[in-house]
Amino acid sequence: MNNKTADMYQRHWRERGRVSKAGHKGDVVPGSEIFEAAASALNGGGTLLDVGCGDGSFYPCISAKFEHVYGIDIAPEAVNEAQERGMEAVAGDAGGPLPWKDRYFNSIVCLEVIEHLPDPLAALKEIHRVLKPGGHLVLTTPNIRYFRNLARLLFAGEFPRTSTDNFVWGGGHMHYFTRKDIKGLFEAASFTGISFYLNCGQFKRSWKRRLARRLVGEKFFGEYFDGSITVLAYKGD
């Protein structure tokens, strides 16, 4: 990303911090369901990298699972907050190149980030490079095939908003993905064992979601009734 983009995200995180200190809850902390899904999909152990870690909000969810938790984000002020939480975070472009040697991490997460990156495939290839053989990646991104997004496009005649952030048009999202799109990207980046993960915690909280999953099946539910895509994939030995 260029300096203009870096400045934009720096201003964004500065504003989020200001609003958070003022006591507004809103969107200041990214979706807990996304964190819940990612944390439950991670095996734990060794080293983890959070690509696009922001202010380190995900760190408390997984700090007990790993010996070392690293992060990288383009906004220095967000990185400072991540470091204060205890994360070994550095300022840099999440789209790569990443400042770590080959085969360094046991696990990597990339949560609601890939849609912001100019070249998602290049980013995934770089993540693959720094992941140890047998290591796994958990990635989340908004699901453009979510039924509410389709309804807005078909009936309201408006392109769906896949972010509640308003610091820039569309929350800074440059790309929009379906499960099929994501699987193709992961295959092109040489990942194996690619699977889609549903957060089971959501069904404990919502009888409507439990009913929808029972009526349409898990695969159809994930395609159309889950607002976020969560994918788990591995680096071959």
Residue bearing tokens 């309804």: 151
Query: Each residue of 14-30: pLDDT tens digit?
Result: 776 654 444 333 333 44
Output the pTM of the full model: 0.89
In this predicted model, what pLDDT tens digit does every residue of 186-212 receive, in sequence order?
999 999 999 999 887 788 888 888 898
Q: Where are the domains of the chain?
A: 3-235
113 phi, psi to nearest 5 deg: -125, -40
pLDDT recorded at residue 169: 81
Q: What are 99's two structure tokens?
A: 């400042």
Q: Assign a CATH topology to domain 3-235.
A: Rossmann fold (3.40.50)
Say if CB 171 and CB 162 are below 8 A apart.
yes
Q: Which of 139, 117, 118 is nearest to 128 (CA)?
A: 139
